[in-house]
Amino acid sequence: MYTLNLPIMTITKNKSAAFLFRSLICICLFQLIALTAQAQLSLSGGVTYDYSPSLSYGERQDVGSLFSFFGDLEYQQIIGRLQFSSILAGTFESGNLESGYGIHGSLGYNFAPTEQLRIPVMLTAGGSFITYNNGFNGSTSGSVFTDGSPQLGVTISPYYLLNEHLALMGAFRYLKGFVATEQSQAIDLTNLSLGIRFTL
């Protein structure tokens, strides 16, 4: 009798352990779904037109425009942003800047002074890359080179809610560049933005 019951007891224990393990997984999944539903996450995105009164590359100073796409993720009043910016080369005064783009991430706090007005204040980090022609006064006869610079800065990006899905927004962003290699130079950027923000 003992030798016959041993396999049955082992099978029973294995089934009980498997059932307990599956039950624990299901409980964890249901708890995760419940927490996600209660998390009050908000996803937004938008597009802006940016004016840069100061873009410096080493000792060179320039003025021009950019456009940006961004996405925001909010949890309560904590906000994170991922932003891609591209220069509009024809708008820069020197004519030496041929192309350029930047990718930046921001994290901060979304202040709510009124029901319609929000003011995110965020620390920003990322990098910018430019293609530059060192010809005299915008001449295309100079050599063309590409350089990049890591950047740290701050973004203040107030927006006004027209309804629960649409907002008008502006932004002030200052980015301080750092030298990446011995052959590169720092890229500093200040820009003012106007745009539209959509919330899902």
Residue in the block written with tokens 């100079």: 142
pTM for the full predicted model? 0.76
pLDDT value, residue 189: 95
- Is residue 2 scored above 80 in pLDDT? no
Judged against a pLDDT cut of 60, whether residue 36 lies above it is answered with: no
117-132: per-residue pLDDT in tens? Answer: 999 999 999 999 999 8
Q: Which two tokens stand for residue 86?
A: 């591209």
Query: Residues 6 or more apart from 116 whose CB is under 8 A from it?
Result: 160, 161
Closest by CA position to 98, among listed 65, 145, 141, 148: 145
For the stretch 132-154, pLDDT in tens is: 887 655 555 668 889 999 999 99
| Residue of 51, 91, 54, 84 whose CA lies nearest to 70 | 84
pLDDT by residue (tens digit) across 64-89?
A: 999 999 999 998 899 999 999 999 99
Range picked from 4-8, 34-38, 108-112 for highest mean pLDDT: 108-112
Q: 94-113: per-residue pLDDT in tens?
A: 888 889 999 999 999 999 99
